[in-house]
Amino acid sequence: MRSRDGSYNFSLSICSVVLFLFSSTLLNASDYLVSYRYVVKDAILYNETLDISKSMKKCIGEPTKSLILDSYENDDLEDIILKNSTEFIDFIHTLGLQVEHKESTTNAINKSTTILTLKTTCFEVDFNDNFARISPLK
């Protein structure tokens, strides 16, 4: 828009761009990809792997049931999950895990292997000062 002296007035457009960028960073949650694998051999925990990585592009889907974890004023999802590991693992189990079980007996010796797997799932994470809200996308 041009003012009476002929100069352009950019203050309104600059304010709207700054407001848009500020609100978009507050309203948009971060997307993370999470996979989990738990292996038990002969009734002994053999391996447990939890992989977390920030998604390179926005995941598509609607958030479902949420888990709220104490964030301890931290924005690193991996640290938050490590501090609240029991609650997060219980939450993952409610999402549904793929179960693979093998058992064999040779010369009266039993051998078994059980593998629980959460395929790579996209989670939407909203960070706050006191908590992080984690929601899987369906």
Q: What is the mean pLDDT of residues 22-49?
A: 80
In the predicted structure, residue 91 carries a pLDDT above the cut 60: yes
Q: Which of 20-34, 93-107, 112-126 has the lowest mean pLDDT?
A: 20-34
Q: Is residue 14 part of a domain?
A: no
Q: How many CB atoms lie within 10 A of CB 67?
A: 20
Domain count, the chain: 1
Check pLDDT > 90 for residue 22.
no
pLDDT bucket at 7, cuts 50 / 70 / 90:
low
pTM (global) more than 0.85? no
Domain carrying residue 103: 29-136
Residue 12: its pLDDT value, please? 44
Please report whether residue 11 resides in a domain.
no
45 is a domain residue: yes
Q: At 124, is the secondary structure helix, strand, or coil?
A: strand
Q: Is 90 inside a domain boundary?
A: yes
Contacting residues for 136 by C-beta, under 8 A, at least 6 apart:
63, 64, 65, 95, 121, 122, 123, 124
